[in-house]
């Protein structure tokens, strides 16, 4: 007994892998290999697994007493709640058609998995108060779930409804729930099978109980068996088959007297039914009428088994009370029928038409007849063969005669029915010949060997009799092949005959013509060992040191180490029953998937013992299953249909700044959401440690980057469109590897986006337009100002050359010249100064208030000479004001002149004009009103002109106030030269 313990520790978890090789025991002969056991624990606290589940990607989940765990073949990872630290006991897991994972708990709660975290789901109707035991989804995509004590619930149009006793359910404790092909549901209860239907919107329950032939009330498991039939697991009476079309129950003969107690779970894998029991371990049954065999892994496996599940590679998973357990099931079976001394003599092996196994022995052959419960062996001694004779090849022809090829003793023929045999001595060449291989197809038998043996026998009806002569052709002298070792001769389905030689390549005989395929035609190696033909008609052959070749009729394609072949010392090449090419290696099997070129491996990690290196020791049964001899017995490899032999790549999660995001939809991110972490797995439970990865971030990387890590991060990505690719392989060859992708876009920041730039350009254009417009407006305003100014000047000039003014001034002057000549001179000086100021200031927009005051005072001097003390001017303005404030020229002069012009000035009614600043903001000119008998014309032109000018110079308006007693003009004070109005 060989026992291999490997212990790994990964973080908090550890798992135990046990690869079993050999055992002795009662009952079934075969042992299933690939047994592995994993302990699920945290902080040395083990958990109980309640349920196992496989999602659409093939990922396995375990619902435990400590919450939900995902299992990638190496680690268990707890799926936590996003908003709770609860570790509710999980009792059911399911994935619906939208890939939504649902979790049911012992406390009746429901949760959904969103971005790799659990979130409670709370329907309006509330959740059950008892454990959720199973989920199902009907054909209308409504979700159903069964409970342990409340019956079966279902969702319809967002409401939750219930099947219970009132609806006819025979029991409320449901163990299992399955949607039938018809569309109704089967529920396993303690009181028979309940068929639940909603035909016509009405609830209907039909009960299948012992009255209908069910052997047991208590139903524990239901599993589809195809054609709307279902395997039913029972509490006491084993299992039975329920046909939903006919409503009948049938009991397999081997289950009539069931003694293995409660069945917990059932699983169909190809033709096999696997049965997990409460106390007696695992069983399997190869067909309805076949016996039920106990599964043996080499140790006592008589324990509680639950939750059978098959992974995508065909391995069978289950749990014992303490462990999660896997087995390769029927993929690899070992029959320990011989001991070491027998094994030492095995150089060739043959599976005959009755699937009995023949092996070479000392001085003859041994035949093993394998049955479910054991085997019988019989030795066939052949005179002429002794212990030293090396039997290299065995072949059974269409008349069931066994051809025995030997080293140095030629070929013997044996009738397996009678035991009659003879030496094939028709040709003297064969008498002492050394045969390397015997193959054949139909009535053709090909024998190749040393010293020019290249014989092709044509069998005829007469050869039913072993003693009759055989017709044959020897090709030893054609095309120089005869001087060589002929390792193998192969006749393909197109009647071509392929000769594989030692050092001279291949010679093909097609339609009577020979052609040579060798190094000169492109082969890397001229030593050709054996041929096989795949289901598509391609010819495959293996070479001594350059791997294998595929010939599709036109080209040769080489598969070597780089393509994933584990070892170039290939023992034999066979086409497996599902069409894959199987390379028998010293350490096990390389399986080449001819659809995608990927290679997978079965080796000592699955418990395969040392393989016999004789090319003749590999054979195939009538199903095409590969049979080889190993140091521990006969090994049968049976691939499982609809399984994959490569890692399936899955992006487990995508994190943005270490927070999970939805990986199911393409991502769209802002420029500052730019740091990503990808976690991925190549799901390959057969050998999870051997998965290699390559990733590429399209948009950043151009080449694939190899890694053994299962995560990669990208920090501070530039804006752009990205496609993350990851693929996984069991070798360095990634051609045909399964790939997973995630697409995402990082947007440019707002200021780099086209629309923003365009908007900016438009806004800039608008600004310039607005500026131009305002310039234009300003310009017009200037022009208007200019015009006003000219008009004002004209007004002023016209006023000042008013003949009345001059006349009055000259009259004053005349009277003064006589009285006081000196004063007359001063008067004339003032008069001329006044006119000079008018001329000086008329071109200016504004002048300082001081300058204007001096003009006013000059004017006042001239007028006072005429009116004497009847006219008074009071100016109350500080020097600072005079310097720092401004006024359009001759404004005050005009107002003073107006005051004198419009009012009577006499001793009875003197005119008082006052000019002062109010609140530092306004300049006030006020005079009392002395109505005149005869009004002088003025038409208010001057005042209106002032108002217009101020409108152009200041925001503040000019106010004119006439209350009948005083006349007041309030002018805004212009504080400074604040615009370009002044430089004209």
Partner 1 sequence: MFKKPAILLFSLIVLSAHANAPNLIFSVSTGSITFRSDAPMELIKASSNQLKGIFSAEKKQFAFTINVNSFKGFNSPLQQEHFNENYLESDKFPRASFEGKIIEDMDMSRDGLYIIRAKGNLTIHGVVQERIIKCEINIKNGIVSVKSNFTVLLSDHNITIPKVVHEKLASEIKIEVKAELIEK
Instruction: Give the residues lining the site for partner 1 (CB under 8 A).
Output: 124-126, 128-129, 150, 157, 159-162, 164, 166, 203
Q: How far is the CB of 165 from partner 1 (least distance, A)?
A: 9
Question: How far is residue 48's CA from residue 90's CA, in Å, rounded to a whole number?
Answer: 10
Residues shown for the chain: 984
d(CA 591, CA 576): 9
Residue 203 or 710: the one with the smaller Cβ distance to partner 1 is: 203
Q: How far is the CB of 105 from partner 1 (least distance, A)?
A: 16
How far apart CA 681 and CA 730 sit, in angstroms, is 12
Estimate the crossing angle of helix 754-800 against helix 941-953, to 10 degrees: 150
Q: Which is nearer to partner 1, 122 or 944 (CB)?
A: 122
Name which of 165 and 976 has its Cβ closer to partner 1: 165
User: Which helix or strand (DSSP H or E) is residue 174 part of?
Assistant: strand 174-179
Q: Specify the residue, 127 or 891, whose C-beta has the smaller distance to partner 1.
A: 127
Between residues 126 and 803, which has the closer beta carbon with respect to partner 1?
A: 126
What strands lie across the sheet with 36-39, from one edge to the other?
3-10, 13-20, 36-39, 323-327, 316-319, 306-310
CA distance 73 to 59: 9
Give me the numbers of helices (H) and strands (E) for the chain, helices first please: 9, 77
Nearer to partner 1, 150 or 897 (CB): 150
Q: Least Å distance between CB 182 and partner 1?
A: 23
In the complex, minimum distance from the CB of residue 160 to partner 1, in angstroms, rounded to a whole number = 6
Strand order in the sheet with 556-559: 528-533, 539-543, 548-551, 556-559
Q: What are phi and psi of 95, to 5 degrees?
A: -125, 125
Name the residue nearer to partner 1 (CB basis): 133 or 858.
133
CA atoms of 892 and 855, how far apart (whole Å): 9
C-alpha separations of 187 from 99, 194, 899 in Å = 24, 5, 115
For residue 300, what are its two tokens? Answer: 């006592």
Q: What dihedral do alpha carbons 774, 776, 780, 782 form, nearest 10°?
A: 70
CA–CA separation, 779 vs 168, rounded Å? Answer: 96
- Chain centre distance of CA 410: 62
Query: Minimum Å distance from CB 176 to partner 1?
Result: 22
Output the CA torsion sign for 667, 671, 677, 680.
positive
Rounded to the nearest 10 degrees, the angle between the axes of helix 891-902 and helix 941-953 is: 150
CB of 51 to partner 1, least distance (A): 24
In the complex, the smallest distance separating the C-beta of residue 259 from partner 1, rounded to whole angstroms, is 39
Q: How near is the Cβ of 152 to partner 1 at its closest, in Å?
A: 12
Q: Which is nearer to partner 1, 203 or 296 (CB)?
A: 203
Please state the closest distance from residue 128 (CB atom) to partner 1, in A: 8
By C-beta, is 147 or 272 nearer to partner 1?
147
SS (H, E, C) 351-375: ECCCCCEEEEECCEEEEEEECCCCE
The contacts of residue 916 (CB under 8 Å, 6+ apart) are 874, 875, 876, 877, 923, 924
Rounded Cα distance, 129 and 301, in Å: 36
Instruction: Please choose, from the candidates 913, 922, 855, the residue with its C-alpha nearest in 3D space to the C-alpha of residue 889.
Output: 855
Cβ nearer to partner 1, comparing 157 with 955: 157
> Closest separation between CB of residue 140 and partner 1, Å?
16
- Least distance CB 960 / partner 1 (angstroms): 60
The C-alpha atoms of residue 104 and residue 121 are separated, in whole angstroms, by 10
Nearer residue to partner 1 within complex by CB, 128 or 972: 128
Smallest separation, CB 150 to partner 1 (Å): 6
Looking at beta carbons only, is 56 or 165 nearer to partner 1? 165
């Amino acid at each position: 007994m060989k026992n291999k313990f490997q212990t790994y520790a990964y973080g908090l978890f550890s798992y135990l892998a046990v690869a079993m090789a050999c055992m002795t025991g009662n009952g079934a002969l075969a042992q299933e290999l690939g047994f592995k056991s994993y302990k699920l624990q945290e902080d040395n606290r083990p958990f109980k697994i309640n349920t196992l589940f496989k999602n659409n990607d093939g990922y396995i989940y375990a619902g435990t007493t400590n919450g939900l765990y995902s299992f990638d073949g190496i680690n268990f990872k707890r799926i936590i709640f996003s908003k709770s630290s609860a570790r509710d006991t999980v009792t059911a897991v399911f994935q619906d058609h939208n890939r939504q994972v649902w979790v049911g708990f012992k406390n009746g709660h429901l949760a959904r998995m969103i971005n790799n975290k659990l979130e409670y789901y709370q329907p309006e109707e509330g959740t059950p108060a008892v454990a959720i035991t199973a989920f199902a989804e009907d054909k209308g995509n409504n979700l159903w779930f069964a409970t342990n004590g409340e019956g079966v619930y279902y969702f319809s149009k967002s409401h939750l409804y219930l099947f219970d006793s009132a609806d006819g359910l025979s029991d409320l404790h449901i163990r299992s729930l399955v949607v039938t092909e018809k569309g109704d549901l089967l529920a396993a209860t303690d009181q028979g099978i309940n068929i639940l239907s909603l035909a016509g919107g009405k609830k209907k329950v039909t009960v299948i109980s012992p009255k209908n032939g069910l052997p047991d009330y208590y139903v524990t498991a239901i599993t589809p068996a195809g054609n709307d039939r279902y395997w039913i697991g029972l509490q006491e009476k084993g299992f039975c088959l329920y046909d939903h079309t006919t409503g009948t129950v049938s009991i397999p003969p081997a289950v009539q007297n069931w003694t293995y107690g409660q069945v917990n779970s059932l699983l169909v894998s190809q033709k096999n039914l696997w049965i997990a029991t409460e106390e007696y371990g695992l069983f399997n049954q190869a067909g309805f009428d076949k016996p039920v065999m106990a599964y043996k892994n080499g140790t006592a496996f008589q324990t509680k088994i639950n939750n059978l599940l098959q992974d995508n590679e065909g391995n069978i998973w289950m749990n014992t009370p303490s462990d999660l357990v896997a087995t390769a099931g029927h993929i690899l079976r070992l029959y320990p029928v011989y001991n070491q001394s027998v094994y030492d003599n095995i150089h060739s092996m043959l599976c005959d038409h009755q699937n009995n196994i023949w092996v070479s022995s000392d001085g003859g052959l041994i035949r093993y007849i394998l049955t479910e419960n054991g085997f019988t062996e019989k030795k066939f001694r052949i005179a002429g063969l002794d212990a030293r004779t090396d039997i290299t090849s065995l072949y059974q022809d269409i008349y069931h005669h066994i051809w025995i090829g030997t080293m140095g003793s030629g070929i013997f023929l044996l009738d397996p029915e009678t035991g009659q045999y003879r030496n094939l001595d028709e040709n003297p060449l064969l008498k002492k010949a050394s045969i390397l291989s015997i193959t054949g197809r139909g009535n053709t038998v090909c024998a190749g060997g040393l010293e020019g043996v290249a014989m092709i026998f044509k069998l005829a009806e007469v050869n039913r009799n072993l003693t009759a002569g055989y017709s044959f052709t020897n090709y030893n002298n054609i095309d120089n092949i005869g001087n060589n070792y002929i390792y193998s001769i192969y006749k393909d389905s197109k009647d071509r005959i392929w000769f594989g030689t030692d050092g001279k390549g291949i010679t093909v005989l097609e339609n009577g013509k020979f052609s040579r395929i060798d190094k000169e035609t492109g082969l890397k190696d001229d030593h050709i060992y054996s041929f096989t033909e795949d289901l598509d008609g391609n010819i495959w052959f293996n070479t001594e040191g350059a791997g294998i070749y595929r010939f599709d009729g036109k080209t040769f394609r080489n598969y070597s180490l780089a393509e994933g072949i584990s070892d170039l010392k290939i023992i034999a090449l066979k086409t497996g029953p599902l069409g894959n090419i199987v390379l028998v290696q010293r350490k096990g099997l390389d399986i080449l998937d001819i659809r995608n070129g990927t290679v997978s491996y079965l080796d000592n990690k699955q418990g395969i013992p040392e393989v016999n290196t004789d090319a003749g020791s590999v054979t195939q049964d009538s199903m095409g299953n590969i049979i080889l001899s190993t140091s521990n017995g006969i090994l049968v490899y049976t691939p499982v249909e609809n399984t994959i032999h490569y890692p399936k790549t899955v992006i487990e999660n995508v994190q943005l700044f270490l927070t999970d995001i939805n990986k199911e939809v393409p991502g769209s991110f802002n420029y500052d959401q730019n740091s990503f972490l990808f976690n991925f797995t190549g799901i390959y439970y057969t050998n999870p440690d051997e998965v290699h990865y390559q990733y590429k971030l399209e948009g950043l990387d151009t080449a694939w980057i190899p890694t053994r890590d299962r995560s990669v991060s990208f920090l501070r990505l530039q804006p752009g469109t990205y496609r993350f690719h990851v693929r996984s392989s069991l070798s360095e060859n990634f051609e045909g590897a399964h790939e997973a992708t995630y697409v995402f876009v990082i947007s440019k920041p707002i200021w780099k986006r086209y629309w923003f730039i365009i908007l900016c350009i438009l806004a800039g254009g608008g600004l310039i337009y607005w500026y131009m417009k305002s310039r234009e407006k300003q310009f017009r305003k200037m022009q208007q100002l200019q015009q006003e100014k000219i008009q004002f000047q004209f007004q002023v000039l016209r006023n000042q050359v008013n003949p009345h003014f001059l006349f009055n001034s000259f009259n004053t002057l005349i009277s003064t010249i006589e009285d006081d000549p000196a004063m007359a001179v001063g008067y004339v000086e003032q008069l001329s100064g006044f006119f000079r100021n008018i001329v000086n200031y008329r071109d200016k927009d504004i002048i300082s208030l001081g300058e204007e005051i001096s003009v006013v005072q000059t004017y006042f001097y001239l007028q006072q000479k005429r009116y004497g003390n009847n006219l008074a001017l009071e100016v109350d303005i500080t020097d600072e004001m005079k310097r720092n404030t401004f006024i359009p020229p001759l404004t005050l002069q005009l107002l003073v002149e107006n005051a004198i012009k419009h009012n009577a000035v006499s001793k009875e009614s003197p005119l008082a004009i006052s000019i002062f600043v109010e609140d530092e903001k306004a300049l006030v000119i006020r005079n009392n009103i002395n109505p005149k008998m005869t009004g002088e014309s003025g038409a208010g032109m001057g005042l209106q002109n002032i108002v217009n000018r101020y409108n152009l110079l200041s925001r503040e308006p000019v106010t004119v106030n006439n209350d009948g007693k005083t006349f007041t003009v309030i002018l805004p004070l212009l504080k400074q030269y604040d615009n370009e109005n002044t430089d004209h």
